[in-house]
């Protein structure tokens, strides 16, 4: 039985208004750092064997905070990055809808399959992130591992683990700094906790 403590990175700088960040390398805000410290306290008693993160700074810094009480060094995996959002990165939904209304409408209607222009689709994301999670599980059989990634990445992993259509990707809340727990047991995945926000 391997347990994955799946976390979204903390809040980023200039989080409002909400933007499509994707591969942009933005840092945590002071509030985001506090969110991660709170989750580190909540996981202090968990015997973590390893901590992995996306290689983007917002996820890796979050992982450093989570790993510190366990005296672990988080390992960066580029395959855990957020979905590439192509030419929409850095824009708000309102800005995209104004610039490319037809493309944005298609994306909203077929969110599980329509790729970001010049970027990735959800199947593209699953094709790189899911094997990364499988490698983590294979390397830590019966262990407890923290994985710190992104809203889109975590949602895609949850869909894949639970056998849900990728079109349901937005059914899973993934707030800044929130924790979900997946357990691999007898060839199946069990969701134990979902989107638990840090208690500040």
pLDDT (tens digit per residue) in 44-99: 999 999 999 999 999 999 999 999 999 999 999 999 999 999 999 999 999 999 99
pLDDT at 187: 81
Residue numbers annotated as active site? 9, 82
Question: Range of 16's domain?
Answer: 2-196
Residue 4: strand pairing partners: 145, 182
Q: Which of 6-10, 66-70, 109-113, 166-170 has the lowest mean pLDDT?
A: 109-113
Cis peptide before 17 (omega within 30 of 0): yes
Asked if 135 and 41 touch (Cβ cutoff 8 Å), the reply is: no
Q: Look at the chain and report how many structural domains it folds into.
A: 1
Which of the two residues, 101 and 171, has the higher pLDDT score? 101
Residue 108 sits in a domain of what CATH number? Answer: 3.40.50.1240
Report the mean per-residue pLDDT for the chain: 95
pLDDT tier at 112 (50, 70, 90 boundaries)?
confident
Residue 119 and residue 38: Cα distance in Å, rounded?
34
CA distance 28 to 116: 24
Whether residue 129 is predicted with pLDDT greater than 90 in this model: the reply is yes
Determine the Cα–Cα distance for residues 85 and 63; give it in Å rounded to an integer: 23
**Where does the chain have alpha helices with state H?**
30-42, 57-67, 93-99, 101-109, 122-139, 151-162
């Amino acid at each position: 039985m391997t347990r994955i403590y799946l976390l979204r990175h903390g809040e980023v700088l200039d989080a409002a208004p909400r933007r499509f960040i994707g591969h942009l390398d933005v840092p945590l805000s002071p509030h985001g750092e506090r969110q991660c410290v709170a989750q580190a306290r909540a996981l202090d008693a968990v015997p973590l064997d390893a901590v992995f993160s996306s290689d983007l700074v917002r996820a890796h810094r979050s992982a450093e905070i989570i790993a510190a009480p366990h005296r672990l060094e988080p390992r960066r995996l580029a395959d855990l990055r957020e979905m590439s959002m192509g030419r929409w990165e850095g824009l708000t939904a309102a800005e995209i809808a104004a610039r490319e209304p037809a493309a944005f409408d298609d994306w909203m209607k077929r969110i599980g399959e329509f790729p970001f222009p010049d970027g990735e689709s959800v199947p593209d994301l699953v094709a790189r992130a899911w094997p990364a999670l499988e490698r983590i599980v294979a390397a830590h059989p019966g262990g407890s591992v923290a994985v710190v990634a992104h809203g889109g990445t975590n949602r895609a992993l949850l869909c894949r683990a639970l056998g849900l259509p990728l079109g349901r990707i937005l059914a899973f809340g993934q707030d800044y700094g929130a924790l979900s727990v997946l357990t691999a047991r007898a060839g199946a995945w069990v969701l134990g906790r979902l989107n638990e926000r840090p208690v500040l």
